[in-house]
Structure 1
């Protein structure tokens, strides 16, 4: 039998830290955060045995860490701590990585994998899905411009905790990292005829209005994805996936530690 988590009052710890930490919403977000070195001071679940069984089946590499960390709380307590209960009934708070370290990673040259730039994104779930894709391809990072907070809990939920596997920051267009900027645009050159360099910035406009004038003016290249006539557009995450796959399939290295 597994001993209960040692913290006698995880709920008071949660209330003390909430608002200054990143909410990890669900088992998979916590799993990924632990895998990629996040500092997690508190984690709760309504069923420790079920959560640890899930870890044993899907993530044995983090089971011991979860065993030491997870505290069981009543369902009513759990639902009071999170904005929207997750089907796995697991939640945690993590320390956000230092901005200075992320900026150093984003600006360091030479760079062996691209940076994804989301120009004025609007949809929190789409932004999370992009971060998940970028982490999967080993991208250096994801930068957003505009008002959307890329560390909003809904974005972190959509990214399944993979914010901790890449550098995620919000910057102004004039603060973007160095490197040739390839911006996706229907009027651009067909991507199938291009090889995207490893140090590229790959920029995608908002779901509604496309690229901002400021980013378009900063772009070195406009690039288009193949699309059937009369189809309006692709989903943002789909566009990013197609572009990163093209980069990796034409010489990029998707499995970068």
Structure 2
């Protein structure tokens, strides 16, 4: 049997770090290829799977190797409270791009226009996966597969398409961009093939993305509140889309816009 630490170091340069039990759980659920996984306490990790995720207990039992605390700490930059870590093969970029560009789509693509905060980007990917979005695209320099982003996404990068593109290379579809000068989102039904674009925390949408936008939308916000957190803005927008599709118990068949909102705001990334 190959020493897990040797196997780990051989793969670490190209693989995706799955930091913690929940990241590994989600990755396995959505078909990730995981060549190596370690745990400080294998029995405790399997017990946690039995309690919280019995569907992946079998794969974990076959995959997990117990290692001493010192070995585990040497393999990961920030040890996770669950004492579990794994390496996964990053999905094919070509397959992700094909999924993002395929029409018709049954769910929107979320676009983060030059985001800066790694944790926020991870939270958005987790949200997008939860809502069944087609994918998440980032523009700019932030790597959406950075270990901190994957940690924030709890392994759900494997549940949706995640790629970095420039604005000119965005997937096809109408762009609905969040901006304080936009139309109240409550009066707009978002189509399944939409690109939902959110600007950065400091400067909002770039001029290039704004020029690409087909519609500017604003979220309702009370006066003197300057912005929402990026993940909150994405959640509100995706929930609004889901209501327009009549998803969930009691969801209306069509949106009814309320009377004039108190104020409208843009997201904060």
TM-score (norm 2): 0.91
Unpaired segments of 5 or more residues in structure 2? Answer: 249-269
Equivalent position of 2:106 in the other structure: 112
- CA distance in 1 between partners of 2:172 and 2:246 (Å): 18
> What SS does the corresponding residue of 1:225 show, helix, strand or coil?
strand
Equivalent position of 1:76 in the other structure: 70
> What SS does the corresponding residue of 2:232 show, helix, strand or coil?
helix
CA 15–252 in structure 1, closer or farther in 2 if over 3 Å, else same: farther
Equivalent position of 2:139 in the other structure: 145
- CA distance in 2 between partners of 1:153 and 1:224 (Å): 32
Asked if residue 226 in structure 1 is aligned to residue 220 in structure 2, the reply is yes
CA RMSD in angstroms comes to 0.9
Check conservation: 1:113, 1:252, Cα contact below 8 A.
no
Check conservation: 1:113, 1:253, Cα contact below 8 A.
no
- CA distance in 1 between partners of 2:97 and 2:2 (Å): 38
1:253 Cα offset (Å): 5.2
Equivalent position of 1:51 in the other structure: 45
Check conservation: 1:114, 1:140, Cα contact below 8 A.
yes
- CA distance in 2 between partners of 1:29 and 1:19 (Å): 19
CA 181–167 in structure 1, closer or farther in 2 if over 3 Å, else same: same
1:251 Cα offset (Å): 1.1
Asked if residue 134 in structure 1 is aligned to residue 133 in structure 2, the reply is no
Q: 1:1-257, aligned counterparts within 5 Å? A: 7-251=1-245
> What SS does the corresponding residue of 1:79 show, helix, strand or coil?
helix
Q: Give runs of ≥4 in structure 1 deviating > 2 Å.
A: none
Count of residues in correspondence between the two structures: 248
Q: 243-252 or 167-176, which moves further after superposition?
A: 243-252
Equivalent position of 2:254 in the other structure: none
> What SS does the corresponding residue of 1:126 show, helix, strand or coil?
helix
> What SS does the corresponding residue of 1:68 show, helix, strand or coil?
helix
